[in-house]
Amino acid sequence: MGSLDSNMAESVQFKPLDAQEFRKQAHQMVDFIADYYQNIESYPVLTQVEPGFLRSALPDSAPHRPESFETILKDVQEKIIPGITHWLSPNFFAFFPATVSTAGFLGEMLCACFNSVGFNWLASPASTELEIVVMDWLATMLKLPKTFMFSGTGGGVIQNTTSDSILVTLIAARDRALDAVGAENMHKLVVYGSDQTHSTFAKVCKLAGVSPANIRALPTSVDANFSLSPQLLRRAVEADVEAGLVPLFLCATVGTTSTTAVDNVEPLAEVANEYGIWVHVDAAYAGSACICPEFRHYLNGIERVDSFSFSPHKWLLSYLDCCCLWVKQPGLLVKALSTDPEYLKNKPSESNSVVDFKDWQVGTGRRFKSLRLWMVLRSYGVLNLQSHIRSDIRLAKMFEGFVKSDPRFEIVVPRHFALVCFRLNPYPHSGSADTEMLNRKLLDWVNSTGRVYLTHTIVGGLYMLRFAVGASLTDERHVVAAWELIMEGADRLFKGSAF
């Protein structure tokens, strides 16, 4: 490795950020990425590699000496790309899409460019202020009440994920409750969701010290479209109060992960408000749709809740990570999460004239993420973003029509947004296990072709396939081709062809 001195000599020459080299290599990378986007349909959507494929293809330790950009890019093409599940493929219909856009990418480039760390206002004023502006813009697009906006009495902040959003609001609610009932009553706090609430809710509640026995996953049913019943909530809360417990927090979901079921915010909040329960609305996926007037009704009652989050990285073309959280009482977040070390003290913070976002989140450091949203909102305008939502929903409706037109298939739950939950119908006189087995076989086969990627869920005991439209590159022809492939799978299945 050479002596210290010879390394020192080398160090004088090592320039990690030479503007000329940056320019040259970044241009090459742009072309590499543009080519990837152009050729993305040529890759199998769901990679078919085996566990360990990459570990065995790469050396055990980092190189001592530099390797060329060309060598590394070759490895990206030959070793990395074959092992990627292509989330941006127009034939990706799994989970929910992680949508992207040119403007989002440019915003991400700028965010990295400045690499400013906006833990407080002074550390990078533009970062904090643009976030304030963008969060108010989005709140306006969603017709959130002024009580959630900086221009009103609340405010919003960009978190990494829904988990973070739920965690920080839960902590704020928890600390407010413990102030009232005493910290020794921590074990009495109860939280509420449905059996359709995202699995991260229970995880985050446990993180925050809520007793696992006090996490209520209230049952839903296919008859009520898997929506949480306000009557059931009321009964659960009453029973808990009677048992001497302290109802703390309700997580209502607009657009659940399995089937995009919608909890009816207004009547749920009505119950919660009576008992002083903090209500959070998680609209991670479906929130984006609510920028269209015709879907805004899914947020009816939002003025009665305490916090609301949705993730533009899911459906608003914004790349990961980007979860937008609004709260009515930012002071409660700050009270629960603020720190004040000497080395971060500064006059603007002490004057209380500015927002220090480190006190609205778990970590201290934070990226200049608002740039990405700002670029998306300005580059496309509200009209194009609405069109984008409507176009995905139109394609989902089309797919729904295909399913309905084929008697071998059925729609399992009503479609609200751009997710279609469907399955092969039960054979006459067959059991549900057979139906599930057939549908599993169908899913395995279509995914094994590499031509599409779909996932499944089981809700209310029913195994179903999920067809989530919305990848940024998806067009009508991809949806048509996916349906044809699914029909081919059904044909093979029913004709008993080898899979």
Pick from 93, 136, 357, 418: which binds a copy of itself (CB under 8 A)? Answer: 136
Q: Which residues contact 443 (CB under 8 A, 6 or more apart)?
A: 454, 455, 456, 465
Tell me the number of residues near a copy of itself by CB under 8 A.
Answer: 167
Of residues 18-47, which lie at the interface with a copy of itself (CB under 8 A)?
18-23, 25-27, 29-31, 33-38, 46-47
Of residues 347-386, which lie at the interface with a copy of itself (CB under 8 A)?
348, 353-354, 362-367, 371, 375, 377-384, 386
Site string for a copy of itself, 198-237 (x = CB under 8 A): xxx-xxx-xxxx-x--------------------------
Q: Report the Cα–Cα distance between both ends of the chain, in Å, rounded.
A: 55
Nearest to 460 by CA among 400, 410, 415, 413: 413
Nearer CB in complex with a copy of itself: 17/498: 17
CB of 299 to a copy of itself, least distance (A): 18
As a whole number of angstroms, the distance between CA 156 and CA 360 comes to: 9
Nearer CB in complex with a copy of itself: 271/395: 395
CB of 371 to a copy of itself, least distance (A): 8
For position 98 contacting a copy of itself by CB under 8 A, the verdict is yes
Of residues 460-489, which lie at the interface with a copy of itself (CB under 8 A)?
466, 472-473
CB of 429 to a copy of itself, least distance (A): 27
Pick from 140, 153, 225, 449: which binds a copy of itself (CB under 8 A)? Answer: 140
Pick from 74, 77, 143, 187: which binds a copy of itself (CB under 8 A)? Answer: 187
For position 394 contacting a copy of itself by CB under 8 A, the verdict is yes
For position 435 contacting a copy of itself by CB under 8 A, the verdict is no
For position 8 contacting a copy of itself by CB under 8 A, the verdict is yes
For position 329 contacting a copy of itself by CB under 8 A, the verdict is no
For position 341 contacting a copy of itself by CB under 8 A, the verdict is yes
CB of 407 to a copy of itself, least distance (A): 27
Of residues 235-294, which lie at the interface with a copy of itself (CB under 8 A)?
257-258, 293-294
Nearer CB in complex with a copy of itself: 166/271: 166
As a whole number of angstroms, the distance between CA 163 and CA 201 comes to: 7
For position 130 contacting a copy of itself by CB under 8 A, the verdict is yes
For position 122 contacting a copy of itself by CB under 8 A, the verdict is yes
Pick from 45, 144, 167, 490: which binds a copy of itself (CB under 8 A)? Answer: 167
Angle in degrees, 0-180, between the axes of helices 476-495 and 370-405, rounded to the nearest 10: 40
